[in-house]
């Protein structure tokens, strides 16, 4: 799907996005983000960039982990989604009352940051929506610091044939119907979800793409009977020519 159509699609469903994620994942989405943060090897003072951040749920999960000592930037090219993410920053959760977190409108294919900037560069359920998967991973790797990690949380296709048949029925029939009904979307936004997942590379293929763009020690972890996977790759240690944030 073309980039402007993807942007329009998410603009329309932004208000219902979080509720439907929780409902349609049977409340597993929070645990997936928790596991993603866990395998990222994030530290208290880490600098994190979460691309395709949407309403900022994964960015805020990182922020809750590292607290005020670190820094989290969430970027997305859909302004309507970022508005909701920004509203969440005004609602402290638990002991986290002063998150060092910001949201920025930016395209993952042309990130406005210097090379070698972030300790962790993540994406949750967004990399399959970029117009060019390889360019997106290349950009994520570029802005990761030497020794830093690129982390991808994404839907994938279950490997167990029996479970896969049951899941595909839910994923291609029930989920689009419920999602489009609740969001009152007439453009089949929630039909786009299963179609995009079916076209997305499987775990081994995505691992190969990450390695192609310089990431090493790439591992992936299947979750919830293999309907999602977390990929983690390390950017090799090497001298950094320039690092830091591009202040906008």
pTM of the model: 0.89
What is the Cα Rg of the chain in Å? 17
Strands (E), 17-70: 47-51
Sequence ranges of the domains in the chain:
3-158+201-234
In this structure, which topology does domain 3-158+201-234 adopt according to CATH?
Rossmann fold (3.40.50)
Rounded to the nearest 10 degrees, what angle do helices 57-66 and 79-88 cross at? 30
In this predicted structure, what is the pLDDT of residue 243? 45
Q: Is the pLDDT higher at 188 or at 186?
A: 188
Q: 80 near 53, Cβ under 8 Å?
A: no
In this predicted structure, what is the pLDDT of residue 98? 54
pLDDT in tens, 4-43: 777 877 887 888 889 888 887 889 999 999 999 999 999 9
pLDDT grade, residue 127 (50/70/90)? very high
pLDDT in tens, 70-117: 999 999 999 999 999 999 988 765 544 456 899 999 999 999 999 999
Alpha-carbon gap, residue 200 to 127, rounded angstroms: 9
């Amino acid at each position: 799907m073309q980039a402007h159509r993807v942007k329009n699609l998410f603009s329309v469903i932004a208000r219902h996005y979080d509720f439907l994620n929780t409902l349609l994942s049977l409340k597993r989405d929070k645990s997936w983000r928790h596991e993603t943060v866990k395998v990222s090897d994030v530290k208290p003072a880490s600098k994190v960039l979460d691309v395709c951040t949407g309403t900022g749920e994964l960015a805020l999960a990182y922020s809750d982990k590292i607290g005020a000592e670190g820094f989290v930037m969430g970027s997305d090219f859909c302004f309507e989604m970022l508005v909701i993410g920004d509203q969440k920053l005004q609602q402290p959760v638990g002991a986290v009352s002063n998150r060092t977190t910001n949201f920025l409108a930016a395209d993952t294919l042309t990130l406005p940051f210097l090379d070698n900037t972030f300790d962790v560069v993540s994406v949750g359920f967004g990399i399959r929506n970029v117009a060019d998967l390889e360019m997106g991973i290349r950009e994520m790797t570029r802005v990761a610091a030497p020794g830093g990690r690129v982390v991808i949380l994404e839907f994938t296709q279950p490997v167990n044939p029996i479970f896969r048949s049951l899941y595909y029925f839910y994923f291609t029939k029930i989920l689009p119907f419920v999602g489009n009904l609740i969001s009152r979307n007439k453009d089949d936004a929630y039909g786009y979800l299963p179609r995009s997942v079916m076209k997305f590379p499987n775990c081994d293929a995505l691992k190969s793409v990450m390695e192609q763009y310089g990431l090493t020690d790439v591992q992936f972890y299947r979750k919830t009977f293999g309907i999602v996977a977390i990929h983690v790759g390390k950017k090799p240690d090497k001298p950094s020519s320039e690092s830091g944030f591009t202040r906008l």
